[in-house]
Amino acid sequence: MCEEEFYGMPLIGDPFPEIKVTTTHGKINLPNDYAGKWFVLFSHPGDFTPVCTTEFVGFAKRAQQLKDLNCELIGLSIDQVFSHIKWVQWIEENLGVKIPFPIIADNGRLAEMLGMIHPNKGANTVRAVFVVDANGIIRLILYYPQEIGRKLDEVVRVVKALQFTDKNKVAAPADWPDNEIIGDKVIMPPPTTVDDAEKRLKDEKLECKDWWFCYKKVE
C-alpha cells in the first residue's frame, strides 16, 4: 500500500520516487529510509508460487553478499501483507531459509507506477528489478516475464559493476569480470578530442585495439 502520489514511470538516471509503503517489516519511506545505501527493489508475480519461491530462496542466500556491498533487498507483489508473512514462514519451515528482507504489500498502484504490470502478461506483476544507488538514483531496470525465473547472480554482478565503474570512472565490458576479449579489465570512456585519441595510443598504462577501444587493469 502506498500513500503518496507521483506520475510517470521513472527511468534509468531518474530519482526513485518518494513514497511510503507497507511491508513485512513495517512502514518504509522510499528512498529516504535507505539514504546512503544502495537497494534492489524486485517484484514477483505472487506468493505461494513455485518460481517465486525459488527466487526468494536465492535472493535470501545472496542477501549478505549484497549487504557487503552496502546494498539492501526489497521484495514486492500485489499480495496483502498477511499473505507475505505466511509465505515467508512457509519458506523457513519447509525449506530452512529465513527471508531477511522486507516485502512490500502493494495494492497495484505502486506496481503500475513502476511499470511492473504488463496487461498482455496478466494482472500480476512481472519480475522487475530496480537497482537504486546511495543517492536514490535509479541505475538499472530489468524485466522478466512471469514464467522465467531471474539469474540472481546477475543482480549481484550488476551492483558490483555499477559501484566499480562509478569508483574508477570506467565502463564494464560484457560478462565483466569474465569478458571473452579482455577478461577482468575495464574499458576507458571514449576520448573527446583528436589529441586525446592520439595520446591514448601512446599511454603505457593502457592496452588498445584502436583509439576508441582502450582498456586497463584496475585492482
Rounded Cα gap, residues 78 and 204, in angstroms: 55
Q: Is the dihedral of CA 109, 114, 117, 120 positive or negative?
A: positive
Q: What is the separation of C-alpha 3 from the centre of its chain, rounded to a whole number of angstroms?
A: 23
Which triple of cell numbers denotes residue 71? Answer: 546494498
Does CATH place domain 169-219 in 3.30.1020.10? yes
Where are the chain's structural domains?
Answer: 19-150, 169-219
- 19-150: in CATH 3.30.70.140: no
Which residues contact residue 111 at a Cβ distance below 8 angstroms, ignoring those fewer than 6 apart? 43, 76, 77, 78, 117, 125
Per-residue pLDDT 10s for the chain (219 aa) are 444 444 468 899 999 999 899 999 999 999 999 999 999 999 999 999 999 999 999 999 999 999 999 999 999 998 899 999 999 999 999 999 999 999 999 877 778 888 887 877 776 788 999 999 999 999 999 999 889 999 999 999 999 999 999 999 999 999 999 999 999 999 999 899 999 999 999 999 999 999 999 999 998
Catalytic residues: 52
Helix (H, G, I), strand (E, B) or coil at 68: coil
